[in-house]
Structure 1
Amino acid sequence: MQLEVTRFKSMHIALKELERFIRDGEHLQTGKPLRQMHDLRSREALGNWLLCAAVNHGFVRDRLIFSSDPRGGDGIIQDTEGGTTWDMEHVIVPASRDGSAQDETALIQKAIQDKQNKGGRAYASGKTLVVFSNARGGEWYPNRVGRALPEPLDFDAVWVVCLQGVVDGGYTYGVTRLERTHSPVWRVHIAPDFGSWTVEPVQ
């Protein structure tokens, strides 16, 4: 069945559209859903964009794109050459109300476990889970979280995205694919004018 989805014409156009939400960090945490994107939230759109940017780095072209999901999901990522799609499921680790530091590793683990417990395999099967972490807990440890993934894991894959810093108007996000043995990490550096980005594999 072909779905009537909404998507951006390119990754560059998507980034420019997301710019106002990225600069307004509060919208990423509490902003209303985007009606034109079938109620996709801005943080979900950003998370999907970051995954595409990280994976596309290995292809040296924009092979992955993302769209809305009219079925009520948190977006769809599509491989434009291979034809496969990823149904996305998102969860946020919010910043503390008073801005205090948190144990980000523990909060990410809890967010994953809570989603796993929500509906078990019937709910999670066929979906890719993205944890958008807004926690201000300093450094967290991807390999440690990867080793602690639920067993069995009902989601097809689990990713974590988080803001790592803002320097001279440029934003850097960490993108991690959690694995039990070794969790690869990329840094996505967004230029101050939001007209370009670079991707740096970290581990």
Structure 2
Amino acid sequence: IQIQNVIATPVNEALSIDFTAPIKVSPNIFHAIDIARVTLMPNKITQCSKQCTGKIVVKSKNNQYKLAIPYVVRLLQGFLSYNETQTQFYIQSNSIQEKRSLVLHNQFNSTLVIHSVSLPDEAKPYFKVVLASPAVTLAENSSQTALKITFTPSSQLSHLETTFRLNTNLSYFDVSLQAYSGKLDIFIPQSLNQTVLDFGAIGLGEKKS
């Protein structure tokens, strides 16, 4: 079957579908194949009565086959908070490993269970983030030490700004992660090697900055 299009019906501004046509799907009962990525943007939901239900429609070439997949959105009031300074690390010259615990505050009206944590490849040489227990459970409106963060500085690292992801029973949450040296990077406009500051031709008594 050749997949020609994947759409949402009715049209929903809060729903984004990333699909590149065409995609050929061969017969296979053992392995699934990714054909599209569906992203929900809660901040764009203005009328839940119209935007929280609908269908994802998968269409084949010439509309020979059509598959309608119902979806339902359940909006939860609340948020997951933490002390952002605990995820900001100063890069010291002595390269001493630093370990911290991160306390999470569950401000949802539902119990939140963190199943796993994932770290981007760019952060793996310097950071290690693990759960405080195999599955961290946060009751509603409660706080708990949920994560252990280990930072290993490197002389090759001057700045890093990224996030790590918490996979939970409610949704996934991206937590900011930063490493900084406190040093300024000099940028010289119109300089190829960033070593010479060229003011060009300057007249007598003229000032240029």
**What TM-score results when the alignment is normalised by the length of structure 1?**
0.28
**Which protein has the larger Cα radius of gyration, Structure 1 or Structure 2?**
2
Name the structure where helix makes up a greater proportion of residues.
Answer: 1
Name the structure where strand makes up a greater proportion of residues.
Answer: 2
